[in-house]
Structure 1
């Protein structure tokens, strides 16, 4: 039987995103964004551009959204979360690379909505991990929880599938 190359000529569409779990050094709260188009609070970061690796996405968007130039490296990768496609909503499958950092006190104080983010970014909020279910979508709660646990334990990265351990 010949090798089927149809997937090579028409691969499925995919979204790639880079997100940041940023922890306040004094009270261990997590920085979340209030976005105009989101019904709940969201992590800093967002979709990667074409030919942009997720780490570069996080660097670019955290700077644009919060005015912070944080030196994310591969060692900061806390988890990768696969999200299934939702054809009824016009959403293709995606991979979310979640990086985690404990900020310095100076960085936490400097974090604020940056003008480069435009009017879409309404505010930032520091939220306790225990309060996440009241302000975030379930998949964000799981991403933050896994990343915060990874940061506390200095463990290896965790692979998630739609927010659940894979």
Structure 2
């Protein structure tokens, strides 16, 4: 019996996807958000929903998390994250949100049920607030933004 391509693709493994945005201020600091549901901070972003593109998720998450209508730029990072206890493997995307001026930053509005706060962070401050995996991903995104490159990572580590 022959299986149609549509039937075959439905049998393939599915991966969890997330999308984030690297926003910077004029001084080069990175915007991080503090979730209510975990101890470490994150880049703005979240899960890619069914039938949603990673880019579309980035736009939606900026609107939902920060109340901002920002059009992200190019892709900075793709990071494959291996499974670990309590989490399936995933593919995470980080897009360039560009420089956010003071006027735009004043318009940030957080959903109180999801986020406690936000902050502009230097690289050492980001390293202290982010989990080690997210610190590696954020640093790679900042480097990619500065260099005009796109980085492929596995568990936050650059693969050449």
How far, CA to CA, are the matches of 2:132 and 2:107 in structure 1? 28
Cross-structure match for 2:140: 146
Cross-structure match for 1:96: 92
How far, CA to CA, are the matches of 1:122 and 1:96 in structure 2? 23
Q: CA deviation at 1:23?
A: 0.5
SS state at 1:96 partner: strand
Q: Is the 8 A contact 1:101 1:151 kept in 2?
A: no
How far, CA to CA, are the matches of 2:57 and 2:10 in structure 1? 27
| Structure 1 residues 163 and 68: alpha-carbon distance in aligned structure 2, compared to 1, 3 A threshold | same
Between the two proteins, the alignment pairs up a number of residues equal to 153
Q: 2:152 aligns with which of 127, 136, 159?
A: 159
Runs of 4+ in 1 over 6 A off after TM superposition: none
| TM score, norm. by length of structure 2 | 0.87
How far, CA to CA, are the matches of 1:64 and 1:131 in structure 2? 25
Bigger proportion of residues as helix: 1
Which stretches in structure 2 are left out of the alignment for 5+ residues? none
Q: CA deviation at 1:18?
A: 0.7
Q: CA deviation at 1:138?
A: 0.9
